[in-house]
């Protein structure tokens, strides 16, 4: 454990990719604000970070509640210090074909993946500009390239890419980078849900998908955390506006 040097916020950090990312950023030496829904217990992530010698606080906020989300980010800044690293990881998918998706379900995808990223970026903007340093890492997906039965999710995740590229152009002169991590198949609640929808056991679902992945395995949350760690580092200052597909093979 190195000395704590920066403050990070990770949304959707109670479990899965978010939890792994929060822990990795903490072991890199950052204090971490662990943000997740009020009905999700983020204390385990904080406990893991503290057990590793790091510093973290859990803050409850539904990312679709703009006022609550902004307040959560401001609380992290008030308790831990000016935020230098923002990871917009919170996400969700409705696995439905276009004919069966309601407009509310479509709107949910925009709110969770795009509106939330906009609100958190605004909340950290002034602090990053003032210190002349910032790292914004937004989570997209290989579904941004199009996935049947996920029209809302695919559209929202594609929007994340365009949003991030625009941020990179706008904020680069202020010393702030903005990049996208786009996971492929990662062991998670979301991929487990897809397995159930297809009538498969999760083990079977992983085996089927691994057969089509060049490295012949499915991803783990730690695979995404490693990539995010690099993009959040001082050494990634010349990398911005990029989409890194962490998918066991080429995409895009």
- What are phi and psi for residue 217, nearest 5 degrees? -155, 160
Is residue 153 among the annotated active site residues?
yes
Q: Which of 153, 163, 238, 245 is catalytic?
A: 153
How far apart (Å, rounded) are the C-alpha atoms in residues 190 and 181?
Answer: 17
Rounded to an integer, what distance in angstroms lies between the CA atom of residue 10 and that of residue 45? Answer: 11
DSSP calls for the chain: -PPP-EEEEEES-SSHHHHHHHHHHHHTTEEEEEEE-TTS--HHHHHHHHHTT--EEEEE--TT-HHHHHHHHHHHHHHH-S--EEEE-------B-TTT--HHHHHHHHIIIIIHHHHHHHHHHHHHHHHT-EEEEEE--GGGG--TTBHHHHHHHHHHHHHHHHHHHHHGGGTEEEEEEEE-SBSSHHHHHHHHHTT--HHHHHHHHHTTSTTSS-B-HHHHHHHHHHHHSGGGTT--S-EEEESSS---
d(CA 180, CA 168) in angstroms, rounded, equals 10
Write phi, then psi, for 28 (nearest 5 degrees): -75, -10
Which residues are part of the catalytic machinery? 153
């Amino acid at each position: 454990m190195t000395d704590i040097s920066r403050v990070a916020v990770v949304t959707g950090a109670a479990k899965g990719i978010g939890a792994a990312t929060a822990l990795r950023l903490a072991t890199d030496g950052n204090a971490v604000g662990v943000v997740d829904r009020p009905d999700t217990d983020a204390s385990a992530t904080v406990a893991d970070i503290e057990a590793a010698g790091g510093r973290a606080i859990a803050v409850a906020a539904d990312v679709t509640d703009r006022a609550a989300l902004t307040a959560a980010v401001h609380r992290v800044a008030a308790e831990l210090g000016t935020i230098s690293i923002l990871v917009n990881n919170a996400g969700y998918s409705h696995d439905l074909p276009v004919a069966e998706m309601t407009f509310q379900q479509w709107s949910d995808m925009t709110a969770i993946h795009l509106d939330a990223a906009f609100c958190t970026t605004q909340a950290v903007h002034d602090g990053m500009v003032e210190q002349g340093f910032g790292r914004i890492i937004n989570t997209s997906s290989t579904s941004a390239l199009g996935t049947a039965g996920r029209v809302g999710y695919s559209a929202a995740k594609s929007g994340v890419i365009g949003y991030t590229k625009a941020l990179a152009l706008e904020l680069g002169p202020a010393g702030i980078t903005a990049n996208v991590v786009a996971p492929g198949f990662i062991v998670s609640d979301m991929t487990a849900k897809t397995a159930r929808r297809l009538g498969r056991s999760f083990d079977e679902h992983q085996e089927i998908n691994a057969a089509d992945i060049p490295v012949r395995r499915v991803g783990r949350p730690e695979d995404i955390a490693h990539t995010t760690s690099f993009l959040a580092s001082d050494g990634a200052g010349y990398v911005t506006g990029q989409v890194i597909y962490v998918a066991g093979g080429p995409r895009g």
